[in-house]
Amino acid sequence: MLVTEDLIALIERSEAMRLKACAQASGGDLLEIGGGVAAFCGDGSPMTQVAAVGIRCEVSDEELDSIANHFAGRATQYEFKLSPLTDLSFRERVVRRAKSLPEFETFLVCDLTTLEPRGLDLDFRKVQPHEARDYAQRAVDRFCSRKEGPPGLVDVLAAACVKEGSISYEVWMDDKPVAGCELGLCEGV
């Protein structure tokens, strides 16, 4: 698969649509700005994020202030996903404003049709609607730093993993779930 800027932009738009759905499902809210979104899904929610902002467009300091104000007093922490399609000066301005950089995230794309797992007995299972809540609870248990995730997070993730345009999978090894992922579809990709 050839990864083009258009494909990356499509993936970023899909992420923004997923965050919009999560904000609605959680009773949170959304700020559409700079070509992307700032989604508030609750304080402490890992879905409280900024995505697709600044892709192929200029973002002013005032717009960055608007994003910060959107979360002020409500979210003690949120994730700002910087796309590789943003201008370097924009990325530098966002990083300079950050109080901390606890995590850096990127993604790699490869053709999985030729992948042949070796030495592991892995079972890839599509999450069925009746399994969504259990799947979401396991995800919260694996990834939240608190004993329990933020209130309502399990329900938000369960709704997101079975919404139209979304397919969730869980990887099992030795009859135990060990990983999971959600694929969000946007414009057929």
> Which pLDDT does position 184 carry in this prediction?
67
Which pTM value belongs to this model? 0.62
pLDDT digits (tens, 9 = 90+) for 4-51: 788 888 888 888 988 998 898 889 999 999 999 999 998 888 889 999
Handedness of CA 146, 148, 150, 154 (dihedral sign): positive
Of 165, 164, 162, 143, the closest CA to residue 153 belongs to 143
Confidence of residue 141 (pLDDT cuts 50, 70, 90): confident
Question: pLDDT digits over 45-58, tens only?
Answer: 888 999 999 998 89
More confident residue, 115 or 99: 99
